[in-house]
Structure 1
């Protein structure tokens, strides 16, 4: 067949949602300059991560996200059968990620957050308002997967130690860091004409101002958490990422967090969730299923 005769492929709903989830992960990884996180400049506070690995990890998760969406379409309602199917697929996706990265945990938290949101979106693709999708995701997160392994992750251990809200609780509450902070800041910065990359950086900072990031707590304790929260607020108070004063504060925060070995991975996962919700809320070809 001649190349010029090829027709654009029509994507299924599950394929489109998987594309949007992977796109969100790649966009989060590429966003620069993020404080102490892997981005286009370098590895941030990490010694075992780099941008290429983040991209490979994100791409490895496409089949899992598609399978979660397919499961939502198959079961058609929130309940234990869907919850346990999504849990199983998530664990399989995590293993695919670890196989790809040589055992490095690049996106475990993102599998949880985006997996729930992909599933929630697939359950009702005509109801894509941020609040509606997050409520469906929360209802699913509140169900206890009896097949889930019980050993506590580093994040869960830290959440217990410091009384912080971990990734599980954030989802069960309907992603307040995304709906109450990241999305409003993203839209505010866009409306102010700050440009898309600066708006996304501001959304990340808005999450960081209040989140008890268990990745930071695990790596740098309460000192690291306070440095992150106060520093992120200082950037926004100085005018945000689009201002010269804000950029100076952002550079200072980056250096402070790197010195503390504190990388806000939890905030990064929630930024990816924010970008995903923003895309489906805007329509972005979700119901039509085509590019």
Structure 2
């Protein structure tokens, strides 16, 4: 049975995901301009709808972590089972968000497991959870694990086992951009570009291979080196990268889920007391 705290964490995670979806322009990724889904093949309105289907599963993960009270093999197995059921529910609601479910599920569970943790501490708690194997996982390799093995990329599991380094980098980028006076959407776009600039995105590798990955990483670095989304030169570089990736139909989807994870962690109250139902992501 879930509590108010569990429901609050789940709603904060869904708000982070829908907040990420609302950002414009996201190079190669679904945003409000892509209503016909001609390039990304994922309709923005449909993705917003299916994001809401994550909430019950995320609340159940938080409840499982809070009830268990520590990272254990049993908790890892329970979270895996809940995640697979949630993935099925999201599929019935329209699909999408598989990578975000993995990231947000672990981070929500970590936040429930250690209510005083904030920022990078939450990522480290998630690392302890995923350190145990999910013995109920299907035996057949997933597409992501196959791509990881082929190209030597960390993949979603490697990202979690390393303590979500790209979530932490996105959090740092948010703080840096805000301190420099960027508006919230600009700060979030800089955080996304920071992830894109170094992430070995298995979705992109599967879609277009290592040359495409290096092209996207270089493009994201170029925008940041031009000053980021808050500067005229950075906005010009961002528009060019956005047009380029849409023309090529290259979609760095792994970066989007990690940004949502960072926005979720960033949304948690700063106080060290247990979080309340007011936790929500910052949006413009």
TM-score of the pair, normalised by structure 1: 0.90
- Answering whether residue 34 of structure 2 is matched by residue 46 of structure 1, we say no
Unaligned ranges ≥5, structure 2: 280-284
Alpha-carbon distance between aligned partners in 2 of 1:196 and 1:152, rounded to the nearest angstrom: 39
Measure, in 1, the Cα distance between the counterparts of 2:44 and 2:133.
34
Tell me, what secondary structure is at the counterpart of 2:93?
A: helix
Partners of 1:280 and 1:286 within 8 A in 2: no
The Cα shift of 1:284 comes to 11
Q: Which has the larger radius of gyration?
A: 1
Could you tell me which residue of structure 2 aligns to residue 31 of structure 1?
23
Q: Which residue of 2 aligns with 1:119?
A: 109
Deviation of 1:251 after TM superposition, in Å, equals 1.4
Deviations 1:175-234 (A, max 9, x none): 01121x211111111111110000000000000110011111111111210111000000
* In the alignment, structure 1 residue 177 sits paired with structure 2 residue 172: no
How many Å apart are 1:164 and its aligned residue?
A: 0.7
Deviations along 1:105-130, whole A, 9 cap, x unmatched? x111111111011001001212x222
In structure 1, runs of 5+ residues without a counterpart are 1-10
Residue 285 of structure 1 and its aligned partner are, at CA, apart by: 9.0
**Pairwise CA distance, 1:131:** 2.1
Which range moves more in the overlay, 198-207 or 128-137? 128-137
Structure 1: distance between partners of 2:197 and 2:24: 18
* Counterpart in the other structure of 1:94: 87
Contact 1:215 1:262 in 2 (8 A): no
The answer as to 2:64 corresponding to 1:71 is: yes
Are the aligned partners of 2:8 and 2:276 in contact in 1 as well (CA < 8 Å)? no
CA distance in 1 between partners of 2:27 and 2:38 (Å): 7
State the SS of the aligned residue for 1:85. Answer: helix
Query: Can you list the C-alpha shifts for 1:268-287, whole angstroms capped at 9, x where unaligned?
Result: 00000010111126359962
Alpha-carbon displacement from aligned partner over 1:10-58 (angstroms, at most 9, x marks no partner): x7110110011100110011111100100011147312x1111111111
Cα shift at 1:73: 1.3
1:154-169 correspondence to structure 2 within 5 Å: 154-169=143-158
1:75 and 1:284 mapped to 2: Cα distance? 21
Closer, same or farther: CA 68–247 of 1 in aligned 2, 3 Å: same
Contact 1:38 1:44 in 2 (8 A): no
Does the Cα contact within 8 Å between 1:36 and 1:262 map onto a contact in 2?
yes
For the aligned residue pairs, the C-alpha RMSD in angstroms reads 1.7
**SS of the residue 1:61 aligns to:** helix
Aligned to 1:202: 190
Counterpart in the other structure of 2:120: 131
Tell me by how many angstroms 1:152 deviates: 2.1
- Following superposition, the deviation at residue 81 of structure 1 comes to 1.4
Count of aligned pairs = 275
SS of equivalent to 1:152 = coil
Q: Distance in 2 between matches of 1:229 and 1:134?
A: 23
